[in-house]
């Protein structure tokens, strides 16, 4: 499972945790997050998230 981060506000999306408040179940892979999803903090499109390297 990977973590992705908004390039505008640094909001993290962790695949293991999902975002239940946004309707995204835990374990949801990044590629399965809807294409029209936007950052819940700043509204940045999904395309502007990058993978976080450990």
1-44: per-residue pLDDT in tens? 999 999 999 999 999 999 999 999 999 999 999 999 999 999 99
CA distances (Å), origin 44, targets 1, 17, 23, 54: 22, 20, 17, 23
CA distances (Å), origin 36, targets 44, 53, 54: 10, 24, 27
> Residue 54's pLDDT is what?
67
- pTM for this prediction: 0.90
CA–CA gap between residue 13 and residue 20 (Å, rounded):
11
Structure tokens at 23: 């309707």
Q: CA torsion 23→46→5→27, rounded to 10°?
A: 40
> Residue 53's pLDDT is what?
82
């Amino acid at each position: 499972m990977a973590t992705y981060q908004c390039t505008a506000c640094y909001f993290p999306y962790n695949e293991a945790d999902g975002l239940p408040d946004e309707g995204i179940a835990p374990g949801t892979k990044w590629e399965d997050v809807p294409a029209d999803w936007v950052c819940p903090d700043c509204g940045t499109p999904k395309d502007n998230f990058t993978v976080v390297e450990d």
